[in-house]
């Protein structure tokens, strides 16, 4: 019942496991003493502990403890994820920030896979296809990583060790309850559908959330249903408006009023200020978005605004029972203009001040969007295996600088520009004269690449007096 004591006990047990004094047994659902552990029981604890990983382990545990003290809620959350030698990963160690953790990297680096490992906590079960060429262990399972929770509990991540193709999620034997939701990268395309009948009653918040989540899951799995997610949202908002305030014949519903007014309050903080959102209105069973300069039906919103509505609606419904919870979002920048990519994360933090966000993204605008966060870059080591590294991102850096320093691009130039620049550099003599450099500058200016001239000169520094 005391998280601080649980963290201390579990930290000690983790140390025993890393020292190989205990090991997994019973398919990952129990532990047993190792031969080395039995020797310790017989001969006594070693006079001195030493291990190459020990200092780093201590530093990480101190960081996790410091972050736990920053949490403003007692709700459980995931504090750390480690993965070792599984799929494309060689060494993944991610400590989660109390408010915002960003995972970034190239396609195929494993950002979505790491989010999907967390998915079962939020009723999201995505396939994690794994191929074992041969049985690699005498045990029935492999210990491939660990999850640490804010309440101090820890669980191994366990994979079936059998040969062949495995499409099951990793098993989390000691999985803890973590309130939250999972939002995948596939945003819905919602065609216009009129309401065929007015809702006979206002559904409870949990029912509204389940209806919307079911439509998302169906589409993610490649299926289809009679209604789009945006139609479900419109249906819920029309019902909320109908029953929120009541009249001489209909009693007012406090729950309906909280949905109707509460969601509009969130949108005023969440939607971009340039939209100047004012309120919703209902006209002929349609939801009308009213801004300072325009009024338009819900389905007439742009793809970017529709994506933001879908994101915010799911999070808003989830906060009914708990204001503090975790949200995993895969590629929130999908369908968004660069200006909206720049503002989406600050808008989420402002609209939902008690929520912990874990985000996977390619966008440099998202990576640099806020100062108070942890950013992890996933990249290949010398063997081509993926490792994680926490990076100190220059939040004032340009998108080009972020693409190169964090995402590992050699250059942010278009391919045609890179090819032409390389050709011009090859045409220069080994020891270019001042006139040669002037000609290079003029050629770059004609191509619209004059900003690249200083870098080109620096690259020739060893050849220029």
Looking at beta carbons, which pairs linking 23-32 to residues 24 or more positions away fall under 8 Å?
Answer: 24/139, 24/141, 24/143, 24/156, 24/158, 27/140, 27/141, 27/158, 27/171, 27/173, 28/141, 28/143, 28/156, 28/158, 28/171, 28/173, 29/173
Q: Is residue 426 included in any domain, yes or no?
A: yes
> Is 456 within the bounds of a domain?
yes
- For residues 262 and 255, what is the distance between their CA atoms, to the nearest angstrom? 10
* pLDDT tens figures, 273-314: 888 999 999 998 899 999 999 999 888 888 888 888 888 998
Whether 261 shows a pLDDT value over 90: the answer reads yes
Q: For 54-76, what is the mean pLDDT?
A: 85
Give CA–CA dist 22/20, Å, rounded. 5
Mean pLDDT in residue range 344-369: 89
What's the length of the chain?
465
Is 136 within a domain?
no
What is the number of H-type helices and E-type strands within the chain? 14, 17
434: in domain: yes
More confident residue, 399 or 16: 16
Query: 184-193, 319-328, 429-438 — which one is most confidently predicted on average?
Result: 319-328
What gap in Å lies between CA 332 and CA 416, rounded to an integer? 29
CB-based contacts of 380: which residues, under 8 Å, 6+ apart? 109, 386, 387
Mean pLDDT of all residues in 24-46: 84
- 280 inside domain: no
Longest alpha-carbon distance in the chain: 91
Structural domain total, the chain: 1
Residue 417 has pLDDT above 80, yes or no: no
Residue 204: what pLDDT?
76
**What is the domain extent for residue 436?**
415-463
- With a pLDDT cut of 70, the percent of the chain lying above it is 82
- Mean pLDDT for 126-130 is 67
Specify if 429 maps to a domain. yes
Is residue 387 included in any domain, yes or no?
no
Question: What is residue 136's predicted lDDT score, i.e. its pLDDT?
Answer: 56
**pLDDT at residue 463 in the model:** 45
Q: Is residue 181 part of a domain?
A: no
- At residue 25, does pLDDT exceed 50? yes
Query: Residue 260's pLDDT band (boundaries 50, 70, 90)?
Result: very high
pLDDT band of residue 110 (cuts 50, 70, 90) is: confident
How high does pLDDT run on average in the chain?
Answer: 81
pLDDT category, 356, cuts 50, 70, 90? very high
Tell me the DSSP string of 229-241. Answer: HHHHHHHHHHHHH
């Amino acid at each position: 019942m005391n998280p601080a004591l649980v963290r201390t006990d579990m930290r000690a047990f983790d140390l025993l496991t890393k020292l190989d004094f205990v090991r997994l047994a019973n398919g990952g659902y129990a532990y047993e003493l190792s031969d080395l552990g039995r020797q310790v029981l017989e001969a006594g604890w070693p006079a001195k502990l030493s291990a190459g990983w020990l200092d780093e382990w201590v530093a990480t545990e101190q960081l996790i403890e410091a972050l736990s003290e920053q949490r403003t809620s007692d709700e459980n959350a995931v504090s750390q994820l480690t993965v070792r030698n599984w799929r494309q990963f060689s060494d993944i160690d991610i400590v989660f920030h109390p408010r915002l953790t960003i995972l970034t990297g190239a396609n195929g680096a494993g950002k979505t896979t790491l989010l999907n490992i967390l998915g079962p906590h939020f009723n999201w079960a995505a396939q994690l296809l794994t191929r074992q060429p041969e049985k690699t262990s005498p045990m029935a399972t492999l210990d491939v990583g660990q999850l640490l929770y804010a309440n101090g509990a820890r669980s191994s991540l366990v994979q079936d060790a059998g040969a062949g193709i495995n499409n099951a999620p990793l098993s989390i034997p000691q999985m803890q309850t973590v309130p939250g939701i999972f939002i995948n990268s596939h945003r819905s395309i919602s065609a216009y559908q009129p309401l065929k009948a007015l809702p006979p009653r206002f559904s409870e918040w949990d029912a509204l959330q389940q209806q919307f989540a079911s439509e998302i899951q169906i589409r993610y799995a490649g299926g289809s249903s009679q209604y789009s997610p945006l139609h479900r949202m419109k249906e819920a908002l029309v019902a909320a408006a109908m029953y929120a305030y009541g009249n001489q014949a209909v009693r007012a519903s406090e729950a309906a009023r909280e949905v109707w007014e509460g969601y509009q309050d969130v949108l005023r903080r969440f939607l971009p200020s340039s939209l100047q959102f004012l309120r919703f209105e209902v006209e002929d069973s349609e939801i009308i978005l009213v801004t300072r300069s325009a009024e338009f039906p819900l389905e007439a919103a742009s793809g970017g605004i529709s994506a933001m509505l879908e994101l915010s609606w799911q999070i808003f419904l989830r906060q009914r029972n708990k204001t503090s919870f975790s949200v995993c979002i895969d590629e929130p920048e999908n369908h968004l203009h660069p200006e909206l990519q720049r503002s989406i994360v600050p808008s989420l933090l402002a609209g939902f001040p008690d929520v912990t966000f874990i985000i996977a993204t390619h966008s440099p605008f998202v990576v640099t969007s806020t100062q108070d966060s942890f950013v992890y870059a996933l990249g290949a080591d010398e063997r081509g295996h993926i490792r994680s590294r926490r990076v100190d991102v220059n939040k004032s850096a340009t998108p080009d600088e972020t693409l190169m320093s964090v995402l590992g691009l050699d250059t942010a130039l278009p391919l045609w520009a890179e090819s032409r620049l390389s050709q011009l550099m090859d045409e220069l003599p080994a020891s270019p004269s001042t006139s040669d450099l002037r000609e290079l500058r003029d050629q770059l200016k004609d191509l619209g690449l004059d900003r690249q001239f200083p870098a080109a000169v620096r690259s020739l520094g060893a050849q220029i007096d």
